């Protein structure tokens, strides 16, 4: 008879890779086949060390800026999007580049451009320093956009023309936090123009709603994701806000602090949009070494979104 304790695992669905991440990884893989190694990638293609290390082993070279890319080799821009200056620099050097920017991030870029063309000052709700925010702000001339990170920022914002504002958002934010910020902005600036369709992407939305479902029934939740992954960090915050205080972000099974799971009988597991399913399976296997495990899945919705590859790789 086993002396292991019983552990019920609830898997959130959807979890893990989204269509934009699938597309970005496939772009690197197909570029390696078409051009041969090395293929250069500006920044991490997605925020996940396991994914980046695997692609590096296949021949991808990750660099911070284009000045580290030699002449005559292809370069790929990450899924988070880049300032306009980056493709302009690539073109000036006659580098062949493939843009792996998520189409839903590109949609935010085009929205910002439309507002700017209409003469509006744009408020970008997002996190300073995140590559997506840097890329979005880099679509327009300096001073065209003001970053709003918090409710306090929204409360204290002073603008020259309150009648001439629009806002866009980072695609990987907390739905609840962003809704509160938007509410403050709309209360203070009733004429502010809103996006035609919500900027927070379907994958972020679905993963946050799914983790809310399991948070009500779990003693603890493990979120698989990278420390620099915005959408993964938001999942931890959402789970805690729903009442599951023992919610933590882990990159791999080896990173789990098992002492924090002592005494639990139900463990929720989800994964950020950049985390592959193999890492979820790794965590379940690690749990099986310590517990008598039963696994069930709680499904919010099944995703079937796909995005086209760049024309250079279309086959």
Asked whether residue 204 is marked as a ligand-binding residue, the answer is no
> Quick check: 238 and 212 in contact, CB under 8 A?
yes
| More confidently predicted of 196 and 17 | 17
pLDDT exceeds cutoff 80 at 268: yes
Asked whether residue 274 is marked as a ligand-binding residue, the answer is yes
| Residue 35, domain member (yes or no) | yes
Catalytic residue among 132, 151, 289, 296: 132
Cα 272 from chain centre: 7
**What's the pLDDT at 98?**
98
What value does the mean pLDDT of the chain take?
96
> Quick check: 145 and 109 in contact, CB under 8 A?
no
Asked whether residue 171 is marked as a ligand-binding residue, the answer is yes
pLDDT in tens, 205-223: 999 999 999 999 999 999 9
Whether 25 and 12 map to the same domain: the answer is no
The pLDDT > 90 percentage for the chain reads 97
Q: Domain range for residue 228? A: 6-17+202-299
Q: Which residue in this structure is represented by tokens 């990987």?
A: 172
Specify the DSSP class assigned to residue 61.
E
**What's the pLDDT at 2?**
65
**What's the pLDDT at 3?**
84
**What's the pLDDT at 315?**
66
Both tokens of residue 55? 């692609």
Judged by average pLDDT, the poorest of 42-46, 97-101, 200-204, 310-314 is 310-314
Whether 151 and 240 map to the same domain: the answer is no
pLDDT exceeds cutoff 90 at 156: yes
For residues 23 and 79, give the distance between their C-alpha atoms in angstroms, rounded to a whole number: 9
Instruction: Give the HSE-up count for residue 132: Cα atoms under 13 Å, Cβ half-sphere.
Output: 29
Asked whether residue 18 is marked as a ligand-binding residue, the answer is yes
Specify the DSSP class assigned to residue 299.
E
Nearest by Cα to 86 from 77, 73, 74: 77
Angle at 106 between CA 188 and CA 65, to 5 degrees: 110
Whether 98 and 150 map to the same domain: the answer is no
pLDDT exceeds cutoff 60 at 1: no
- Positive/negative CA dihedral, 231, 233, 236, 240: negative
Whether 178 and 113 map to the same domain: the answer is yes
Which residues make Cβ contacts (< 8 Å) with residue 285, sequence separation at least 6? 253
pLDDT exceeds cutoff 90 at 314: no
Q: In 14-124, which ranges are continuous DSSP H helix?
A: 19-35, 49-58, 85-92, 103-117
For residues 104 and 134, give the distance between their C-alpha atoms in angstroms, rounded to a whole number: 16
Q: Sheet containing 97-99: which strands, arranged edge to edge?
A: 60-63, 39-42, 75-77, 97-99
For residues 282 and 232, give the distance between their C-alpha atoms in angstroms, rounded to a whole number: 18
Asked whether residue 127 is marked as a ligand-binding residue, the answer is no
Asked whether residue 43 is marked as a ligand-binding residue, the answer is no
The pLDDT > 70 percentage for the chain reads 99
Whether 54 and 33 map to the same domain: the answer is yes
**What's the pLDDT at 196?**
83
Whether 207 and 184 map to the same domain: the answer is no
> Known catalytic residue: 163?
no
CATH code of 275's domain: 3.40.1010.20
* Residue length of the chain: 315
| pTM of model > 0.85 | yes
């Amino acid at each position: 008879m086993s002396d292991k304790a019983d552990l019920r695992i609830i898997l959130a669905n959807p979890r893990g890779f989204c269509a934009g991440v699938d597309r970005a990884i496939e772009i690197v893989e197909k570029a390696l086949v078409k051009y041969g190694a090395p293929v250069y990638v500006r920044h991490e293609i997605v925020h996940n060390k396991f994914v980046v290390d695997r692609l590096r082993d296949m021949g991808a070279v990750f660099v911070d800026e284009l000045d580290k890319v030699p002449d005559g080799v292809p370069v790929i821009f990450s899924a988070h999007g880049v300032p306009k200056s980056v493709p302009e620099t690539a073109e000036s050097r006659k580098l062949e580049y493939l843009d792996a920017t998520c189409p839903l991030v590109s949609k935010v870029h085009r929205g910002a451009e439309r507002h700017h063309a209409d003469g509006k000052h744009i408020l970008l709700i997002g996190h300073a320093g995140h590559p997506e925010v840097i890329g979005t702000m880099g679509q327009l001339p300096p001073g065209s956009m003001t970053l709003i990170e918090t409710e306090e920022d929204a409360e204290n914002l002073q603008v020259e023309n309150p009648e001439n504002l629009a806002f866009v958002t980072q695609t990987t934010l907390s739905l609840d936090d962003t809704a509160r910020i938007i509410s403050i902005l709309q209360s203070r600036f009733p004429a502010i123009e809103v996006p035609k369709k919500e900027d927070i992407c379907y994958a972020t939305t679905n993963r946050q709603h799914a983790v809310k479902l399991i948070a009500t029934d779990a003693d603890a939740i493990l979120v698989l994701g990278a420390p620099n992954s915005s959408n993964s960090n938001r999942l931890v915050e959402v789970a805690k806000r729903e009442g599951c205080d023992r919610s933590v972000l882990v990159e791999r099974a080896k990173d789990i602090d098992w002492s924090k799971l002592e005494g639990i009988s139900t463990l929720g597991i989800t994964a950020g949009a950049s985390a592959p399913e193999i890492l979820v399976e790794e965590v379940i296997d690690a749990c099986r070494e310590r517990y008598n495990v039963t696994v069930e899945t709680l499904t919010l919705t099944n995703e079937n979104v796909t995005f086209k590859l760049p024309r250079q790789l279309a086959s």
